[in-house]
Amino acid sequence: MSPNSASPQTLNNNSTKRKTPMFQEIERKFLVAGDYKSEAYESTDIKQGYLCGGANLTVRARVRGDKGYITIKGKRSVNGLSRFEWEKEITRDEAEALLSLAGGGLVEKTRHLVHNTDGHHTWEVDEFHGANEGLVVAEIELSSEDEPFDRPAWLGQEVSEDPRYYNSHLLIHPYNTWK
């Protein structure tokens, strides 16, 4: 989300072209169990680190392609589907400087964007690298927790409520240590 395009009550989420409550992120997260790459229309490398974090708040710096972002995320709802999110685009150099302060290391991944067959949503499929190599997770942002959406054939088990799949958790307990 970008507050730069905010109206008093809603923001336009550019990845899904849907209206959601201001500063409210609602997403569902799934493992990927099939080929999605042939459907991807864009792929971008991402590296991100956490400047501070805990159960109720995380502050993240991210480099995505040639752009930088700083993001503040609040505590997740009980079911893990929604939370406060504020994100602002910054320069890549500013983001790189902030990443140098991320003491816990970086999460590195390639994000593939895939149009959903319903014509209303975009899947963000993250293929992780480094200590999280082998993990592929798909996320979809929604305008409400119960909003219906099509599930592509390559979609696997839902992990929205499993904190092991949160990016901030993957820094502390990387995927390759789970086995």
- Catalytic positions: 50
Structural tokens at position 118: 């319903």
**Which CB contacts under 8 angstroms, 24+ apart, belong to 62-70?**
62/95, 63/92, 63/95, 63/96, 63/99, 64/111, 66/92, 67/92, 67/95, 68/92, 68/93, 68/94, 68/95, 68/96, 68/98, 69/95, 70/94, 70/95, 70/98
**Nearest CA among 169, 96, 105 for reference residue 137:** 169
Structural tokens at position 21: 């409550």
Report d(CA 103, CA 94) in Å as an integer. Answer: 17
Planar angle of CA 3, 46, 142, nearest 5 degrees: 50
Report d(CA 6, CA 80) in Å as an integer. Answer: 25
